[in-house]
Amino acid sequence: MPTHGKSVILESGKRGIHQSGKGAVFAEDGSCKTCCGCEPFLLASATTNRNNPPWNLTPYQGEHMAPPNSYWRLIEMGSCYPGWHPWYGAGCVNGSGRLVGLPNQFQSNYYYNGYMQLQIGCLDPADPNYILWPGSCQSRTPRYSC
């Protein structure tokens, strides 16, 4: 029976709205099927320097933060220099959507204001040896293992 925000399309699943706002197919238990795909997105951002308090990352450590089996990275964004944006952490997202290995906080050691992003990336459907990231700088990088 259809429910608010979902409608039955097959006995094996339901159709709903993915975090990206696009349609998705979910199993009866609410998990996203492989055919849902994955859309890279920005989970959080902060501007910080060594004089600011640490950026608290604990709000992003729970379950259902990102699509299962996707990737995360903590990256400093600025001018789009080819091949250069410092990464301050990276890891995988487990089956429950938890960002494995995400630190509790980020503390900048720089005097300048750095624009930090916590990004969620997805395997490139055209070549699973690469990860696609949101934005236009380093938007495709080699896949790493966790």
Same domain as 18, residue 71:
no
Domain count, the chain: 2
Confidence band of 77 (pLDDT split at 50, 70, 90): confident
- Specify whether 58 is located in the same domain as 5: no
Does 69 share its domain with 11? no
- Same structural domain, 45 and 106: yes
Tens digits of residue pLDDT in 92-131: 999 999 999 999 999 998 888 889 999 999 999 999 999 9
Q: In the sheet that 13-17 helps form, which strands lie side by side, from edge to edge? A: 7-10, 13-17, 23-27
- On whether both 87 and 110 belong to a single domain, the answer is yes
Pick the closest to residue 122 from 34, 30, 23 (CA basis).
34
Residue type (1 letter), 145: S
- The CB-side HSE value for 81 (13 A sphere, CA atoms) comes to 6
Share of the chain above pLDDT 90, in %: 56
Residue 136's pLDDT is what? Answer: 77
Whether 30 and 99 map to the same domain: the answer is: no
Same domain, 45 and 33: no
Q: Which domain holds residue 96?
A: 38-142
Highest mean pLDDT among 77-81, 108-112, 131-135: 131-135
Q: Specify whether the CB–CB gap between 53 and 65 falls below 8 A.
A: no
The reported pLDDT for the residue numbered 80 is 61
81 and 109, same structural domain? yes
Residue 23 shares a structural domain with residue 56:
no
The predicted-structure confidence for 40-71, as pLDDT tens digits, reads as follows 999 999 999 999 999 999 999 999 999 999 99
Q: Find where tokens 């220099």 sit.
A: 81
